Chains A and B, each alone.
Chain A
């Protein structure tokens, strides 16, 4: 079929293109420009070349926040995706009726509330007098009780588990729908072979969910590397730098320390990190489809 007027097509696309250019591409280029300067946001600026980028990769605090972001991948990606896989397998027998739909609703609740509210809810869970310590005391593990977010050792895992709480429901429900689409005769075949639960999981369920896994790994990695809301409302990066992540670092450097160039450079590095993690996964998923 002949293409209709190119002009008409571009006219239809124009508003979206303008909004995208004005508020994504322009700020991105502006950020790249800032990243080569030393600037406090109001006074004169000074060209410093790559000095800001060198600082991002040599400054202990900034490197530490990148390291923390990668630790968070364990809690935002590995725990929710693997827990989601196991849970979906275990509960796929519960598929119909009121109980099934009510549980789907509840599993989705953490996705609906603002992450900032999840942060507030969990700061209270983790408080010295909060529910976590209360439960530990009740089961005789009282010696473990502590203010979880105030302890240098436990603050980062504690914050990470909030991410697990938010994301596990999404993973479980998405995997449940995915399992529903797997050819049921595959399950029947392995069962007739007398395969164990584990073999069935590895040979049928996981390969059948390959696409869902790729999708969830991608979005949860992005959520881990660019986490901000939860940390802001729980620890603000503390105690010390224990839970400092790139998002909070950028905010602090840019608006508290007024080092606009350095904060912009860190922003660009964060974007590159996300791409470097996400692109290989996409490529793997594509290769797997063929």
Chain B
């Protein structure tokens, strides 16, 4: 590729400016979080006497352990169950291609663009009728259903790309459909599955609308949904609010930095297929 010298320089300068703009709001949170809790901080400034204790206060008064536990509980059901359902259906649509499968595929595509807001009112009365309102199940059950269109389309795309000869060979060897699925197809699907797992984890962990509407006790929500609780709790203390919000986002950022290659790949593929 031809790169003019001036281009390389301009490129670097522009990139630095954009990176600074991206980071300022986050650094600004850190600078506010380190100010004395009872003051009204001003703008972006490194505190002369950083109050690291604010994080401890926010951690304790924010019931962060309980929030993390509640989020993990929701994720621990939603992600594996969605992956399982989506893989089975993706295999059916992409490999078995049963009669009527085309219709089912189009039916699922219909659900791809439905905004959650359009369903939130009926979902509220549905979970009331099911007796799960204000429990984590009120979020877990709908999320599994709401993730199906994207997840099935995603897994189907993977199975469409797997050569049919593989299935034929397995059948010649006398494998049942279930054996073939378990021993041959599932191991091959691992990359597609792990990318989908990352996306579903992130979407569930950051899910806001459903927990805010369907779970009245913030401590039973996802961490993102509990941010409103922090806003109520610390409305008079900007430093503590920012400390609390940072505690909530730092674990996600850490997980992201560790698995960033997988995350970025998953998000880019997710965007393209979505």
Residues on A facing B (Cβ under 8 Å): 1, 3-13, 15-17, 19-28, 30-31, 34, 41, 87, 90-94, 99, 103-118, 120-122, 124-125, 127, 129-131, 133-135, 165, 168-170, 172-174, 177, 184, 187-188, 191, 211-212, 215-216, 219, 222, 225-226, 228-229, 232-233, 246-247, 250-251, 254-255, 260, 263-264, 267-268, 270-271, 274-275, 278
The answer to whether B148 and A271 touch across the interface, beta carbons within 8 angstroms, is: no
Return the 9 tightest CB-CB contacts between A and B, nearest first. Answer: A9-B98, A23-B145, A134-B43, A226-B115, A16-B89, A114-B224, A12-B92, A27-B122, A30-B122
Among B84, B242, B256, B271, the residue within 8 A (CB) of A124 is B242
Q: Contacts A109-B22, A247-B209, A275-B113 known; A8 to B149 CB distance under 8 Å? A: no
Instruction: Tell me which residues from 87 to 140 in chain B have a Cβ below 8 Å from any Cβ of chain A.
Output: 88-89, 91-93, 96-101, 104, 108, 111, 113-126
The answer to whether B264 and A108 touch across the interface, beta carbons within 8 angstroms, is: yes
B148 and chain A: residue at smallest CB distance: A20
Given contacts A122-B25, A170-B271, A184-B1, 8 further A-B contacts (CB under 8 A): A3-B96, A8-B96, A9-B97, A215-B272, A228-B209, A250-B120, A270-B117, A271-B113
- What residues of chain A lie closer than 8 Å to B115, measured between beta carbons? 222, 225-226, 247, 270-271, 274
B262 at the interface (CB under 8 A from A): no
The answer to whether A10 and B44 touch across the interface, beta carbons within 8 angstroms, is: no
Among B2, B21, B212, B267, the residue within 8 A (CB) of A108 is B267
Among A34, A112, A122, the residue within 8 A (CB) of B121 is A34
In the bound complex, CA of A117 to CA of B241 (Å): 10
The answer to whether A117 and B126 touch across the interface, beta carbons within 8 angstroms, is: no
B162 at the interface (CB under 8 A from A): no
**B153 to A: closest C-beta gap in Å:** 11
In the bound complex, CA of A114 to CA of B251 (Å): 12
- What residues of chain A lie closer than 8 Å to B268, measured between beta carbons? 173-174, 177
Q: Contacts A113-B253, A133-B43, A232-B212 known; A121 to B25 CB distance under 8 Å? A: yes
Q: Contacts A41-B125, A246-B117 known; A16 to B86 CB distance under 8 Å? A: yes
The answer to whether B98 and A4 touch across the interface, beta carbons within 8 angstroms, is: yes
In the bound complex, CA of A270 to CA of B152 (Å): 24
The answer to whether A94 and B15 touch across the interface, beta carbons within 8 angstroms, is: yes
- What residues of chain B lie closer than 8 Å to A219, measured between beta carbons? 271, 274
The answer to whether A8 and B264 touch across the interface, beta carbons within 8 angstroms, is: no
- What residues of chain B lie closer than 8 Å to A11, measured between beta carbons? 92
The answer to whether B85 and A131 touch across the interface, beta carbons within 8 angstroms, is: no
The answer to whether B11 and A271 touch across the interface, beta carbons within 8 angstroms, is: no
B144 and chain A: residue at smallest CB distance: A19
Interface centre among B2, B230, B268 (most CB of A within 10 A): B268
In the bound complex, CA of A87 to CA of B15 (Å): 8
In the bound complex, CA of A10 to CA of B98 (Å): 7
In the bound complex, CA of A146 to CA of B209 (Å): 30
- What residues of chain A lie closer than 8 Å to B124, measured between beta carbons? 254-255
The answer to whether A9 and B92 touch across the interface, beta carbons within 8 angstroms, is: yes
In the bound complex, CA of A246 to CA of B146 (Å): 20
Pick from B26-34, B50-58, B60-68, B187-195 the stretch touching chain A. B26-34
B69 at the interface (CB under 8 A from A): no
Instruction: Produce 1/0 per residue, B238-274, CB < 8 A to A.
Output: 1001100100110011001100100110011001101
B236 at the interface (CB under 8 A from A): no
- What residues of chain A lie closer than 8 Å to B48, measured between beta carbons? none
In the bound complex, CA of A4 to CA of B92 (Å): 10
**A96 to B: closest C-beta gap in Å:** 11
